[in-house]
Amino acid sequence: MLTTPDSAAAVEAMFALVFVLMGLSHIIQPAMWRVFFTRLHGEGPPGVITRSFALELWPAITIITFHQVWSGPAAALTIYGHLLSLKITMSLLCPTIGLRSLSMAESKGDRGFQGAGVVLLVLAGVCLVSLVA
C-alpha cells in the first residue's frame, strides 16, 4: 500500500468533489440514472461489465491503494472502497448478482436514486470532516 497522510487527504478531497457531484445528480436527475441503469440491465452480462469497469473499478482501486485509514470518520471511505471492490468481484464472478443489482433501478425507481444521492452526499460530508479534522 502506498498510503500516507498526504495520499489519504488527496483521496478524501477528490472523492468529496466526486460524491457531491454524483449525489446532487442522483437527487436532481434520478430519471436519467434510472434509464441508464435500466439500459445496462437490458444488456445482460455486458451491462454488468460496463458498470463495473466504467463506474466502480477505478474508485475502488484508488481508495484501496491510497486510503487505508481505519480510524475516525475517514474509515467510512476506506470501508466504502472495500465494499465496492467486493461488489465488483461478486458481480464479475457471478453476473446474475450484478444483474440483480442493476434490476433495482427499475424496482426502486427514482426514489432509490434519490436515496443513493443522499448517501453520496453523506460520504462527501465524511470526506470533508476528515480533511478538516
Report which DSSP code applies to 43: T
Q: Tens of pLDDT along 8-19? A: 999 999 999 999
* pLDDT on residue 88: 97
Is the four-CA dihedral 93, 97, 99, 105 of positive or negative sign? negative
Q: Tens of pLDDT along 18-53? A: 999 999 999 999 999 999 999 999 999 999 999 999
- Dist. CA 20–CA 125, nearest whole Å: 9
